[in-house]
């Protein structure tokens, strides 16, 4: 596939709706039981689920032009690095010489080498920042 310089409003909205539906499914599951075993299972499942939703964000827009994305440590860069780290570095944050990440200015505050374990609230913040940055730079 060719590099993508813009996305239609319909495509961005459908991706956002898909992500929102996944989050709602998680919430329904997490709220469907009780007891210490159930609570422990949900707590263990949460970072696995939301780490995978980071991959969904990245893969939904994986062909975006990097020059439009910039390399200033923005939310698009953060999702790109998180996905690369989850898939290729055993879930520990990697660096990229083309991206100037500053953990203090990032959404999730991970530093190179940190284990990635995204929780629901953090994912919601990351997804909101990701979609806002994407719409500023790539929407028609």
Assigned domain for 3 exists: no
Number of folded domains that form the chain: 1
User: pLDDT 10s digit of each residue in the chain, 140 long?
Assistant: 789 999 999 999 999 999 999 999 999 999 999 999 999 999 999 999 999 999 999 999 999 999 999 999 999 999 999 999 999 999 999 999 999 999 999 999 999 999 999 999 999 999 999 999 999 999 86
The torsion angle over the Cα atoms of residues 121, 122, 126 and 132, rounded to 10 degrees, is: 30
Assigned domain for 70 exists: yes
User: How many CA atoms lie less than 13 Å away from 80 in the CB half-sphere?
Assistant: 24
Say how far apart CA 102 and CA 93 lie, in whole Å: 13
pLDDT cut 70: percent of the chain above it = 99
| Assigned token pair, 38 | 């159930």
Assigned domain for 2 exists: no
Assigned domain for 74 exists: yes
- Entry pTM: 0.95
Helix axes 120-138, 36-60, angle to 10 degrees: 10
Say how far apart CA 121 and CA 66 lie, in whole Å: 27
């Amino acid at each position: 596939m060719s590099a993508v310089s813009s996305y239609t409003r319909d495509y961005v909205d459908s991706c956002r709706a898909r992500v929102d539906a996944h989050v709602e499914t998680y919430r329904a599951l997490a709220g469907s039981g009780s007891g210490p075993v159930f609570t422990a299972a949900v707590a263990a499942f949460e970072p696995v689920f939301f780490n995978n939703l980071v991959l969904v964000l990245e893969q939904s827009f994986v062909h975006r032009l990097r020059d439009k994305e910039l390399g200033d440590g923005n939310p698009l860069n953060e999702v790109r690095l998180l996905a690369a780290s989850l898939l290729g570095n055993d879930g520990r944050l990697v660096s990229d010489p083309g991206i100037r990440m500053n953990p203090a200015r990032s959404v999730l505050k991970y530093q190179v080498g940190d284990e990635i374990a995204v929780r629901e609230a953090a994912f919601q913040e990351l997804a909101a920042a990701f979609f806002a940055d994407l719409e500023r730079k790539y929407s028609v």
